[in-house]
Chain A
Amino acid sequence: MTDNNENSDVTPEEEGRVPKRVIGTPPSVGTQELLPREEPGEGGSGYVLDEKKARSAERVAAFFFTLTFLASIAFIFFYAVWPGHVGNIQRATRSNYTLGIALTLIFLGLAVGMTIWVRHLVTTKEIVQERHAISSTAEDREAFNEFFQKGAQESGLIQRKLLRRTLLLASAPLGLLPLVLLRDLGPLPEKKLRHTKWKSGTRLVVDGTGQPLKATDFNSPGGIITVVPEGAENNLDEIATSAVLLLNLPVDQLKIKKGRENWNVGGIVAYSKICTHVGCPAALYEQTTHHILCPCHQSTFDALDSAKVIFGPAARPLPQLPIGVDSEGYLIATSDFKEPVGPSFWERGRPKA
């Protein structure tokens, strides 16, 4: 292949054992670059094709270009005639396959054809070209410097202090204006993150159906259901803070925190469903261990022990909602959450409860 090997006494079998090139470097010599490198003649001609091979390469390229042409016609056919209109899943799937295959072939035919063209039919030689200088000449630099200094003098900005200073003064606040204009993007947070829709007497309604729930109806041990405040069933903003996991836990295993003695109804406890890490719904519940798991980042909370964190990146327990039963037997909240729900924030401070 290379001059070097031709001159040596290596037999062809042995040649294969000699590394021809180092991985990560360009191939040393290709078949078309056998001619010596020199400045090309006008038009870059100089490399002579084997006409027989060129003819067959031309035919192969032509085949692929024709393929593209036919695929374009097929594309229009698939769009307009069959499968044509979409409107259900089967038709959409069929349309996706037919149109997609046609489009792929359109691009592929052109790409392969052009590759064969450029590899086998183009006679341009490889050349070595000087890189032009990256920087300007020293004279250019000097001339510019002179010109610049002269212009600066002529502008008067250097001598006239008042002009210069007031110009700077005038441009200083300009960058601030866009920020001022953005003020009305949203309201101030105020205390909104500290409250939810829950208040004393709000009924717990089942998420999705909006049905209020009686304590006696939610009696299967290990039961879990998502509830939202009555009146907020269709309000995503309220659900995003007020969604609650209602769990029916074995009373004898429940470790009730001091001050939360009457927050549960016979083992039915309510924890905020909004993870205290970054706010995903902590929706997975393992009945045997009574662990609540947030599927986003795997914070795990112990439902038996005030939803305290037992694993994962969440720093705080899921806030507990104090619940009771109203005169008709429906589950109600007896107050709002005693601490902000969801992810932490700067103004939050230590939980009060």
Chain B
Amino acid sequence: MSTTTPPKAIDGAIGYADERFAIAGFLRAKSKKVFGDHWSFMLGEIALYSFVILLLSGVFLTLWFKPSMSEVVYHGSYTKLNGVSVSEAYDSTLRISFDVRGGLLMRQIHHWAAVLFLASTMVHLLRIFFTGAYRKPREINWLIGIVMFTIAILEGLFGYSLPDDLLSGTGLRITQGVLQSIPLVGTYLFYFAFGDAFPGHDFIPRLYTIHVLLIPGLLLALVVAHLMIMWFQSHTQFPGKGRSNNTVTGKAFFPVFLIKTNAFMLFTFAVIAGLATFAQINPIWLFGPYTPDSITAGSQPDFYMGFLEGALRIMPNWETNLWGHTVSWNVMIPALVPLGLIMTGAAVWPFIEQWATGDRKIHNFADRPRNAPFRTAVGMTTVAFYGLLWLAGGNDIIADKFHVSLYATTWFFRFTIVIGPVIAFFVTKRICLGLQGKDADVLHHGVESGKIMRLPNGEFIEVHEPASEEEAAVLQGKDLLPAPELEEAEDENGVPAPSARGPLGKVRKNLNRAFAPDEVSVDGHGEGHHETGPHDDEQLASDGVETGGGKAISRH
């Protein structure tokens, strides 16, 4: 510690590498890099470490798994299926589960890691969205994230379809039905994908190659790019005392972040191992092998496919037949529209925001969601849309557990899928503005101290303390959206520039207003504080004293 030279072994290794790759200079710069601290920065790390687990446990499983749809008669340790004709894929998965030591554990680890990977990816994505961390210069990393999320859903679907059990086979049947419904090319896509009739013999081997080579390779490349860009650009940081748009506050990569992130990786591993030990997942021996004419009631896909399942369930049965051709709106719309809306919407959002606000600045501060009411409201609209579709995917379970009519649940979701997101939009926006009002109130009048004081004239007041420096810094960190560029589009007489007169210009102007609506000022005289009225039971304030929205006086 006191010496400035590392132990001989390390010094030797560094020296060896340095003489070949100039590694000391590289490491010197990198090891001092500062990483900010925030719990929400760890969501992406969960995804990253789940991915590591997926690669490792996946390799283990490939050593025994046989991606083949050839029929064999099962004679293994699971005696209940003895003598049953199953596919080699199913047979080998049972073998991994019951005849390979640690096989069941690894299967469950692999499946749980996949669930955690998707779940943490989703929450990570929401965090980035709601804090505006996708803004310049991080748009490309946002896009990479969206692509990874999309192909990870496919990867999951393909993965749990490999064992050729009844549950996943039903999922493949639905996939085939959806493929077949695509106008013009549907039947061709179906025959090309399956190599012949459904289920055929080609599909699982093909899925296998895609699942273990193509998509993981793509994901790995994208993960590396994602991390390198993240490293280059650094995390965003929340506003706070002593923080600025051009600095990062935190501790150095070496040693602090390095130990922390490894500890976190091990926590992720431990949680996955714990889940795999105690929480059974995908017990394919209970489902049985796939046959196209069998099914179990209450079939549910993995959670990340649930929203598509829900969309299929609540869609009205529209189909048109024109000029000898059939278009299955009842299949096409639910299969393509929700996924397309959410993913495309997310992908173009940063660019829409830039276009509407004219904001081309570098943003290293993360927004607090309340400070961007329109964005937060749109985000919650999407969450409501997705969440309702997801719930609709379990409407049979809901009907069963809550003893309501199955059809009633369908009708409920048919209506709420339209109304729910709209309500979510307006409620979220009001909540955001209310919270902004509260922030403004704290800045102007301080926080309630709970101290009641009696004035000489007999009046009772509650003393307000000014907000602490740290808190005030957070509250003042609101990034006011610029609208100047659009104002330029009007001349001094208020006549809009030609570019703002077209339909696109009008859309832009409206969007611009939406992004910066009734702003609650944090440093001037905001309109916010009348929203936080007094409680009736603490009507201690009197007239004539400074009215902070009816609140007691503040002590400045």
Whether B362 lies near A134 (C-beta < 8 A) is yes
Whether B471 lies near A28 (C-beta < 8 A) is yes
B207-256 contacts to A, CB under 8 A, are 233-234, 238-243, 246-252, 255-256
Whether B190 lies near A189 (C-beta < 8 A) is yes
Bound-complex Cα distance A114 to B263 (A): 6
Residue of B at shortest CB range from A23? B368
- Asked if B401 lies at the interface with its beta carbon under 8 angstroms from chain A, I say no
- Asked if B469 lies at the interface with its beta carbon under 8 angstroms from chain A, I say yes
Known: A97-B277, A129-B247. A273 touches B293 (CB 8 A): yes
Known: A103-B273, A189-B188. A350 touches B324 (CB 8 A): yes
Query: What's the least CB distance linking A197 to chain B, in Å?
Result: 11
Bound-complex Cα distance A92 to B100 (A): 9
Whether A346 lies near B274 (C-beta < 8 A) is no
- Asked if A57 lies at the interface with its beta carbon under 8 angstroms from chain B, I say no
Contacts of A10 in B (CB 8 A): 449, 465
Query: What's the least CB distance linking A9 to chain B, in Å?
Result: 10
Whether B187 lies near A118 (C-beta < 8 A) is no
Bound-complex Cα distance A22 to B470 (A): 10
- The stretch of A80-88, A151-159, A252-260, A323-331 in contact with B is A80-88
Mask: chain A, 92-114; 1 = CB below 8 Å from B; 0 = not:
10011101110110111011101
Q: Is the interface of A mostly helix, strand, loop or mixed?
A: loop
Contacts of B79 in A (CB 8 A): 88
Contacts of B298 in A (CB 8 A): 295
Bound-complex Cα distance A188 to B267 (A): 51
Whether B315 lies near A313 (C-beta < 8 A) is yes
Contacts of B321 in A (CB 8 A): 349-350
Contacts of B264 in A (CB 8 A): 111
Query: What's the least CB distance linking B385 to chain A, in Å?
Result: 18
Whether B262 lies near A114 (C-beta < 8 A) is yes
Bound-complex Cα distance A344 to B468 (A): 66
Bound-complex Cα distance A189 to B395 (A): 35
Residue of A at shortest CB range from B131? A24
- Asked if B149 lies at the interface with its beta carbon under 8 angstroms from chain A, I say no
Partner of B266 from the list A95, A108, A129 (CB cut-off 8 Å) is A108
Whether B192 lies near A182 (C-beta < 8 A) is yes
Residue of B at shortest CB range from A105? B270
Residue of A at shortest CB range from B324? A349
Whether B177 lies near A279 (C-beta < 8 A) is yes
Query: What's the least CB distance linking B140 to chain A, in Å?
Result: 12
Contacts of A89 in B (CB 8 A): 77-78, 98
- Asked if A309 lies at the interface with its beta carbon under 8 angstroms from chain B, I say yes
How many residues from B make CB contacts under 8 Å with A?
133
Partner of B195 from the list A95, A115, A185, A309 (CB cut-off 8 Å) is A185
Mask: chain B, 355-398; 1 = CB below 8 Å from A; 0 = not:
00000001010001100000000000000000000000001100
Whether A237 lies near B197 (C-beta < 8 A) is yes
Whether A26 lies near B319 (C-beta < 8 A) is no
Whether A284 lies near B4 (C-beta < 8 A) is no
Contacts of B102 in A (CB 8 A): 79, 95, 99
- Asked if A314 lies at the interface with its beta carbon under 8 angstroms from chain B, I say yes
Bound-complex Cα distance A22 to B468 (A): 11
- Asked if B328 lies at the interface with its beta carbon under 8 angstroms from chain A, I say yes
Whether A37 lies near B242 (C-beta < 8 A) is yes
Query: What's the least CB distance linking A316 to chain B, in Å?
Result: 7
Bound-complex Cα distance A188 to B324 (A): 19
Whether A280 lies near B250 (C-beta < 8 A) is no
- Asked if A137 lies at the interface with its beta carbon under 8 angstroms from chain B, I say no
Whether A239 lies near B174 (C-beta < 8 A) is no
Residue of A at shortest CB range from B474? A25
Bound-complex Cα distance A124 to B319 (A): 66
Mask: chain A, 119-151; 1 = CB below 8 Å from B; 0 = not:
000101111111100100000000000000000
Bound-complex Cα distance A3 to B101 (A): 59
Known: A18-B447, A24-B369, A278-B178. A129 touches B295 (CB 8 A): no
Whether B292 lies near A26 (C-beta < 8 A) is no
Partner of A114 from the list B34, B195, B196, B259 (CB cut-off 8 Å) is B259
- Asked if A281 lies at the interface with its beta carbon under 8 angstroms from chain B, I say yes
Mask: chain A, 333-347; 1 = CB below 8 Å from B; 0 = not:
000000000111111
Contacts of B249 in A (CB 8 A): 37, 126-129
Query: What's the least CB distance linking B245 to chain A, in Å?
Result: 8
Mask: chain A, 3-33; 1 = CB below 8 Å from B; 0 = not:
1110010100010011111101110110000
Bound-complex Cα distance A297 to B193 (A): 24
- Asked if A234 lies at the interface with its beta carbon under 8 angstroms from chain B, I say yes
Query: What's the least CB distance linking B73 to chain A, in Å?
Result: 11
Partner of B293 from the list A106, A185, A207 (CB cut-off 8 Å) is A207
B145-204 contacts to A, CB under 8 A, are 170, 173-174, 176-178, 180-188, 190-200, 202
- Asked if A277 lies at the interface with its beta carbon under 8 angstroms from chain B, I say yes
- Asked if B85 lies at the interface with its beta carbon under 8 angstroms from chain A, I say yes
Residue of B at shortest CB range from A343? B177
Contacts of B241 in A (CB 8 A): 28
Whether A189 lies near B276 (C-beta < 8 A) is no
Whether B181 lies near A313 (C-beta < 8 A) is no
Contacts of B269 in A (CB 8 A): 107, 111
Contacts of B519 in A (CB 8 A): none
Whether B368 lies near A24 (C-beta < 8 A) is yes
- Asked if A348 lies at the interface with its beta carbon under 8 angstroms from chain B, I say yes
Query: What's the least CB distance linking A191 to chain B, in Å?
Result: 10
- Asked if A240 lies at the interface with its beta carbon under 8 angstroms from chain B, I say yes
Whether B330 lies near A314 (C-beta < 8 A) is yes
Whether B198 lies near A240 (C-beta < 8 A) is yes
Whether B262 lies near A313 (C-beta < 8 A) is no
Whether B251 lies near A312 (C-beta < 8 A) is no
Contacts of A129 in B (CB 8 A): 32-34, 247-250
- The 3 A-B residue pairs whose C-beta atoms are closest, nearest first, are A100-B277, A278-B177, A28-B470
B: residues with CB less than 8 A from A are 1, 4, 32-34, 36-38, 71, 77-79, 85, 97-105, 108, 137, 170, 173-174, 176-178, 180-188, 190-200, 202, 233-234, 238-243, 246-252, 255-256, 259-260, 262-267, 269-270, 273-274, 276-278, 290-299, 309, 312-319, 321, 324-328, 330-331, 334, 362, 364, 368-369, 395-396, 406-407, 410, 447-451, 465-466, 468-471, 474-475
A: residues with CB less than 8 A from B are 2-5, 8, 10, 14, 17-22, 24-26, 28-29, 37, 40, 42-45, 79, 84-89, 92, 95-97, 99-101, 103-104, 106-108, 110-112, 114-115, 117-118, 122, 124-131, 134, 182, 185-189, 192-193, 207, 226, 228, 234, 236-237, 239-241, 243, 273-274, 277-281, 283-284, 295-299, 309, 311-316, 342-350
Assuming A314-B317, A349-B326, what are 10 further A-B pairs, CB within 8 angstroms?
Answer: A17-B448, A26-B36, A26-B240, A95-B101, A103-B273, A107-B273, A240-B292, A295-B299, A311-B410, A344-B328
